Each structure stands twice: as C-alpha cells, then as structure tokens.
C-alpha cells in the first residue's frame, strides 16, 4: 500500500493543462536552452533526450504515454543511467516513496532513473521545487511537445501554490522538497 502524501482534486486538473514553461518540438533547441541538472518527467521526454545524446540527471518513467504502453524500442532506449529504482505512485497522487526517491535522485551525483509503478505525471511539481537553482525540469505536453521549466522563483511560486491546493499533507510534502 502506498503512503499518499498529496492527491490531486478534480477541480485542480484543468490548471495543470497550462504549461509551466516554454514548449519545444525540437530536442536540440530545448537542450540549447536547458539549465543543469536536467530532470525529465515522462517516457517520451526521457527517450528524446537520450536519443539526442543527453542522459537526464534524473528521469521518471512509468512505461506509458497517453495512457497506453510505450513501444518496446522506446523502453529499450531508456538506458544508460548509473542507478535505477522502482517506486509506487498511484495516478493523481504524490507518495512518500516518490518524494523520497525524487529528493535522493536530485541530491545524487549519479544519473538516476525512477521507474514508477502507477503514474509519474505529477512528479513535475515537486521536481521544480526540489531542483537546485539553474536546473531544468522537462515534461511532455500531449500532442504539443516538450515543456522546459526553468527552476526559478516564478515557477517555484506557481508550483507551491498548486501543491498547497492539493488534498493531503502539504507541510509533509514540502519538507521533502525545500
């Protein structure tokens, strides 16, 4: 059983459709603008970064895209990480295990792949808060491209506001991240 810290209420879902940063369709252009470290949330984003020659410092995948299984060649290409961990995180939630693994991955000097059993989508929010200044979080915007989030105070304020409006223990979630 997963220890859920925060859960996305249905009335907040529409706000998450608005990108947190610039949308890119070309990986090379995104990488030219990205900071360091790079945190990738999603299988297709991770795949495109690796195919472009950049293994993310931290990547979170769930072997799904648009609610369907990713192609076997995509799964096979998501490789080259120094270490891999599996975490449970049901859809529309942030669990203790995911937040702890996210923090560990960000703090590590090794590249880290988090293989999420459930859904990794919401991990974008805590990643923006937990990442160091100058870092970039990259996630997919369905049917549009990849979103590059600069981990600056503007993005952190927006994410903090979203997390505070989720159901659950916001203080506990923030204790992992700030």
Residue 43 in marked binding region:
yes
- Looking only at the bridges linking them, the beta strands covering 83-89 and 112-118 are parallel
Residue 120 in marked binding region:
yes
| 5-35: burial string, b at 16+ Cβ within 10 Å, e else | bbbbeeeeeeeeeeebbeebeebeebbeebb
CA atoms 116, 117, 120, 123: torsion sign = negative
Residue 152 in marked binding region:
no
Cα dihedral value 133, 96, 66, 127, nearest 10: 0
Binding residue numbers: 43, 45, 62, 120, 143
Binding residue numbers for GTP: 43, 45, 62, 120, 143
């Amino acid at each position: 059983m997963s220890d859920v810290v925060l859960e996305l209420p249905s009335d907040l879902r529409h706000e998450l459709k608005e990108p947190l940063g610039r949308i890119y369709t070309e990986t090379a252009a995104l990488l030219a603008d990205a900071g360091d470290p790079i945190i990738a949330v999603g299988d297709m984003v991770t795949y495109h970064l690796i195919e472009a020659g950049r293994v993310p410092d931290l990547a979170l995948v769930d072997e799904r895209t648009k609610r369907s299984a990713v192609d076997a060649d995509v799964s096979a290409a998501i490789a080259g990480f120094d270490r891999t961990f599996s975490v449970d995180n049901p859809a529309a939630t942030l669990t203790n295990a995911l937040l702890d693994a996210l923090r560990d991955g960000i703090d590590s000097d090794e590249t880290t792949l988090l293989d999420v059993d459930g859904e990794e989508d919401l991990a974008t929010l805590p990643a923006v808060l937990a990442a160091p200044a100058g870092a970039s979080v990259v996630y997919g915007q369905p049917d549009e491209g990849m979103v590059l989030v600069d981990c600056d105070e503007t993005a952190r304020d927006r994410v903090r506001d979203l997390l505070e409006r989720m159901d659950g223990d916001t203080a506990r979630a923030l204790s992992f991240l700030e």
